[in-house]
Structures are given as C-alpha cells and as structure tokens.
A and B are shown apart, each in its own frame.
Chain A
Amino acid sequence: MIVLDKVSKYYGERAAVRDASFSIQAGEVVGLLGLNGAGKTTTLKMLAGVLLPTAGRITVDGIDLMTNVDAVRARIGFLPEVPPLYPEMRVAEYLTFVAHIKGLKNDVAGHVDTAIADTDLGDVRNEFIGTLSNGFQRRVGIAQALVHRPALIVLDEPTAGLDPKQMVHMRALIRKLKERHTVLVSSHILNEIEHTCDRLIVIDRGRIAAMGTEAELAGSVSGATSIVVEIRGARGAFEAAVRQSGVVAKTAIDREEDGIIVATLELSTDARETLAQALVGAGLGLRRMERVQLELESIFLTLTGNRAQSAAA
C-alpha cells in the first residue's frame, strides 16, 4: 500500500535520510523507531507531503507522491510532534475547518462527529482548544488526522509530553485506530512502540537499520536462539547430554536446587527438537524448555551500535 523506494532527503550537504526503502501493508500498525535526529520526522514529513524527497520514489495506493501530491495527501492523516491546532477555535469548529481543507464535500458534520466519537472528545466538542489539557489537545490532533477518514495515519511521537495516564489512553487510542486505518507511529520510546505496533522499522543516522516483528529483529540481532531448560537429573549427565546433542554453543547454569537444574543454552540454530531428544535420551526429566525473547531495548541498542546508551549518558 505504501512504498518508499530508495528515498533520500538532503539539507544542503547533510543527509537526513539516505536510501530508505520499506513498504507498509493495509491494516498494519508499524513503528518507526530511532534515536532523536535519526531521520524519523523527516521520513514522516516526506510521506505526508510536507517535504519533497531529494531522490527516490514514494507511492501510496500506487499513486506517486511527486506526480500527484494532492491525491496522496488526501489519503494520509498526519499528526506532527507538535499538534497543528488553533487555540482560538472550538474543537468541532476546528475539525470542520480541517475536513473542508482536506477536500471533504459531503457529510462533513458526520465525519466530524465520528472523529470526535473515535477520540472521545464529546465532552469538549464546544470548548476552545486553547483551554484544553495537553492530553485532550493531542486527541484533537489525532481527530484532525482522521477526520477525512484517510487510509494511512502517520503519528509523530504521539505521546510526547503526556503524563503516564494520558500515555495509556493514547496507546489505547492508537490500537483502536488499527480497526479502520493503517498506522505508522514514530517514537524513540521503546515501551510505546512495543505495546502498539505489529512491526518495527529501525532507522539509524538516516538509514533503515532493520525491519520486522520484534521476534524477527531479535533473531537478526543475536543470530542465535537462546532457550531456558529446566531438567531433573545430575549435573554431569546434563552436561554430557548437551555436549552429545551437538547443537549447543554455550551453556550457563542459572540455578541448581534439589536435583533440579535451570540453565540458559545458546543454540547456533533453532534445534530445540534435537536438544530435547538428547536430554530425554540421557534419562533426564525435561520439565520445561522455552525460547528467550530478547528485550526490545537490547535489540535497539545492538541495532544502533549502542549509541542510544551514549546519547542517554
């Protein structure tokens, strides 16, 4: 549905985005993850038609951004990091204005009512935007992005500046959007992305560093499968069985108590069946075997070459 093909954006000599290529299918919630200054906002602004790419091609529903920018804009709803709000306007009045400039001709009131309902703004529809709390203003920002019912909604740091309670509401709102829209969310907050997205795109210094589900990224980062096993039996027999299986690269005993051993094993490939046969064949009681997922934080740190840690420090 949305395809970026070798898209670059230069500010003078400096490349904000370099050869970015990815696609997003209809109905997905995709997270664009990167450190501050990695190129997330520039990428989103190009997708939304605010900025034009220096090179490359962006298509939405097969429509080329460069040749028919208006048609692409009509298909996209964009919430920038700072919501584009007019404080002197009332909520419903503002959304009506947005609906009109987004090109809606029919049933504008119906669209506005739906956007207000979807973002739970009913209680404040006649309030001036300038008098609303930060959380409500963010909701109005999302309402303006979806009032014309676009196929794709692009949200740039949607929880920035929100308190924890407002963050929970915002995440729930983003998950709700998935029912009717394709959503691209950018953030540098891992927790936010982890809880809301089906798939991740990691951008680092203007380049796409990796993309996939969290599990896929974990696999690509570690290059190995970590598993935790819990067995009943002697330590010597366990170690011999592990050696004989021939699939374990590294063994670490986590706990040994009352004849129960808990160990983390690193397999060069996902050969859990072979390992299980070797353990059971050696007469050990296999009580538990589960794959260890790398935390998103670890994946991100590895993909960004641990610059995230240095940036935080």
Chain B
Amino acid sequence: MSNVWWITRRELIHYLRSPLGYVIITIALIIDGLLFNAVAVGPQQRLSSVVLQDFFWCASGTTMAASIFIAMRLIAEERQTGTLTLLATSPIRDWQIVLGKFAGAMVLLAVMNALTLYMPLLLMLNGKISVGHLVAGYLGLMLIGAAAVSLGLLCSSLAPNQLIAAIAGTGVVLVFILLWILARLTTPPLEDVLAYLSIHDKHFRPFQKGLVSVSDVVFYVTLSYVALLAATRALEARRWRG
C-alpha cells in the first residue's frame, strides 16, 4: 500500500502547489454559497431540515461538477506531459496508480465539502437540524463524488488530453444522472434497470433526507469500483497497444 500512499501524496502536492485545486474549490464554494442563499434558504420561512435537504441537493450538483474537473487531469495530464512513463517504468501495479490518484482526488473533494460546513452550521445555530441528517448528507456527497471521480478517472485514462477527458467525463456523468428520464420512457424490466442505475435521482435522495440505506451505499461503491477497475484495464491495455 505504500505505493498508493506515495501516488496520493504526489497528487496532494500537485493540488497544493498549482492553481487548479484552489480554483475548483473557490468556484464550487461560490456556487454553493449562492445556491444556499437563493435556493435552499430562499425568501420564504421553511423548516431547517427542508433547507438542509435543499442544500444537499444543490451541493450534490457542485460536488459532481467539481469531481469531473478534479478527475480530468489525473491520468490524461500524466500522459500529455510524459510523466506516465515514470509510473509505467516503476515496479508498481496499475491498480496502485489508479487507487492512489483516486484517493488524492477524494482528499481534495473532502476538503472542498468540509469548507461548505459553515452553511449547515448556520442552520444549526439559527434553527434545528440533527447531526445524523448532517452526517448522512455529507456521506451522500462523498459517495456521489466518489462515483463521479471514478467515472471521470476512467475517461481520463482513455482520453488523449485533459479537455477530451473533461468533455467525456461530463457526458458520462450526465448520462448517469439523466437515466431516470429514460427510465420513465421505457417499460419494466428496462425501466427498473435504468432507474436503478440513475446516479442521483434514486440513490442520492435518501441521503438528502438524512437516510442512509445500505443498498444506496452499495450502489455507489460498486459503481466506483467498476469504473476504477475499467480505468486500470485501460492503463494495462496501453502497454499492448502502445
């Protein structure tokens, strides 16, 4: 596991010393703040728990968007700059590279989400919300973020550059978000399958309400695992294709 740690550490150094991490976090926080004020709090008086639900709904969008931009560079940038060769000539496994990069991205995502905590804390001071609701919501944000990072990382491992990785990542995540619309246009059993695969509609809403369901956790973990596994295979395949 030490190889995974060293890859993660290098990713964190990159985020700390380059503008990308700061830019993504700053933009996400500004959008989160604006949405919190305009959508979640709003002009009408509402229950704190409802405001918190809307906050998590908005934050899930910015989390997914930030995840794609964080993930776009993970492999594609290494390929563009030639540093992937350093990793490819080292006695480390491709899964260690993928896992290390995923972990680095998740740390950045965790920092970003932690910096939004002041908004629920304001609700806590001025209203009444449960810690359980808060924990469940943030767990949901990290899980949906993990799934988006994994899908973005897969696109990054396949794309020749960061721009294409970002475009492909956005497209793939959008498809997973909009599957619920497609589900409504189809009939069972396809409707059930598509609805189940919808990354946000079916699986995030319980977290938004403060509910943690094992099946939703399993869904996000499985989706992340499959995407990371595919990214690993994509890296391996490049050794054969050249």
Tell me whether B215 is interfacial, beta carbon within 8 Å: no
B interface majority secondary structure = helix
CB proximity of B202 to chain A, nearest CB, Å: 40
Stretch at the interface among B88-96, B119-127, B182-190: B88-96
Q: Which residues of B contact A73 (CB under 8 A)?
A: 89-91
Nearest 8 A/B pairs, CB to CB: A84-B86, A70-B91, A88-B17, A82-B82, A84-B83, A101-B90, A78-B89, A50-B88
Tell me whether A162 is interfacial, beta carbon within 8 Å: no
Q: Which residues of B contact A98 (CB under 8 A)?
A: 86, 90
In the bound complex, what is the Cα–Cα distance between A97 and B6 (angstroms)? 7
A101→B239 contact, CB < 8 A: no
Interface residues of B (CB under 8 A from A): 2-3, 6-7, 9-10, 13-14, 17-18, 81-92, 239-242
Instruction: Give me 13 A-to-B residue pairs in the complex whose CB atoms sit less than 8 angstroms apart, sorted by A's number.
Output: A49-B89, A51-B242, A82-B81, A84-B82, A84-B84, A86-B14, A93-B13, A100-B2, A100-B6, A101-B6, A102-B91, A103-B92, A144-B86
B10→A84 contact, CB < 8 A: no
A interface majority secondary structure = mixed
CB proximity of A14 to chain B, nearest CB, Å: 10
Q: Tell me the nearest residue of chain A to B10, going by C-beta.
A: A97
Tell me whether A85 is interfacial, beta carbon within 8 Å: yes
In the bound complex, what is the Cα–Cα distance between A151 and B20 (angstroms)? 39
B85→A88 contact, CB < 8 A: no
A9→B242 contact, CB < 8 A: yes
B90→A102 contact, CB < 8 A: yes
Which listed residue (B2, B6, B13, B239) contacts A88, Cβ 8 A?
B13
Interface centre among A51, A76, A93, A144 (most CB of B within 10 A): A51
Number of A residues near B (Cβ < 8 Å) is 32
In the bound complex, what is the Cα–Cα distance between A16 and B242 (angstroms)? 11
In the bound complex, what is the Cα–Cα distance between A74 and B90 (angstroms)? 7
In the bound complex, what is the Cα–Cα distance between A38 and B162 (angstroms)? 30
A88→B82 contact, CB < 8 A: no
A89→B13 contact, CB < 8 A: yes
CB proximity of A176 to chain B, nearest CB, Å: 22
In the bound complex, what is the Cα–Cα distance between A144 and B89 (angstroms)? 11
In the bound complex, what is the Cα–Cα distance between A100 and B10 (angstroms)? 11
**CB under 8 Å from chain B, chain A span 79-135:** 80, 82-86, 88-89, 93, 97-98, 100-103
A50→B85 contact, CB < 8 A: yes
Q: Which residues of B contact A102 (CB under 8 A)?
A: 90-91
Contact with B along A46-63 (1 / 0, CB 8 A): 001111100000000000
Known: A51-B239, A52-B239. A101 touches B92 (CB 8 A): yes
In the bound complex, what is the Cα–Cα distance between A52 and B2 (angstroms)? 26
In the bound complex, what is the Cα–Cα distance between A102 and B14 (angstroms)? 20
B14→A88 contact, CB < 8 A: yes
Q: Tell me the nearest residue of chain A to B6, going by C-beta.
A: A100
